[in-house]
Structure formats: structure tokens, C-alpha cells
Amino acid sequence: MRDSGREFAIHLGRAQIDAMFTRQADAPLDDSEFLPLLEAMLTAYEKILPDAIVTDQLWEYAFGVYDRLCREAQPAWTAADSRKLMRSYLLGKRGDKRRHRE
């Protein structure tokens, strides 16, 4: 993917992630409902873009936003705690549930 296309895809993906978390703050769903929706949006990027750099950056951005929110709620929380919690709700290859079903 050309750099300008990559930058646009990352910018768009981050805007979508931010919009989803903003909506979540306004009308919260349980993480068990919200995070699979976020995962579905990010998985769509993985399916339509042949660029792993874009999808990896978007996933890392989503983990970062989730981590920030977790730390606001639980100041003693670590990034590893946040990532583990988020992954526990994901159903696809980045989640912990997939490993338990295999």
C-alpha cells in the first residue's frame, strides 16, 4: 500500500475507533458486547487491506485507548492487565477465547 493510502487508512481507522469509544462513553454496553463490535470493525480492515502495518497499528491504537480507560477506572491497572482483559472478550485470532475453543 502506498504511504498516502496507508496514512489515510490509519487516520480513518483511528477516527472510527475513537467514535466507537465515544459512543461507548455516552451509552455504555458491557465490554462483552462492545469489544466484539470493535473487533468486527477492525477485522474488516484486516480483510480488505493487504497491509499488516495498518491493521497492527489500528489494533495497537485500540488497545491503547482501552488501556487508558481501564487505568482511569483502576489506577493500579497495568497495560498488560488491560490487554489481557480486552483479549478475554475478543472472539477472533487476537482474543483469548479462540485458544480455549481449539
Domain boundaries, the chain: 3-101
Q: Residue-wise over 51-62: b if at least 16 C-beta within 10 A, else e?
A: beebbebbbebb
C-beta of residue 46 within 8 angstroms of C-beta of residue 38:
no
Between these two residues, 2 and 83, which has the higher pLDDT value? Answer: 83
Mean of all residue pLDDT scores within the chain = 91
Confidence at residue 2, expressed as pLDDT on a 0 to 100 scale: 61
Could you say which DSSP state residue 27 is in? S
Res. 1 pLDDT band, cuts 50 70 90: low
Q: Which of 62, 57, 63, 66 is nearest to 10 (CA)?
A: 57
Confidence at residue 102, expressed as pLDDT on a 0 to 100 scale: 42
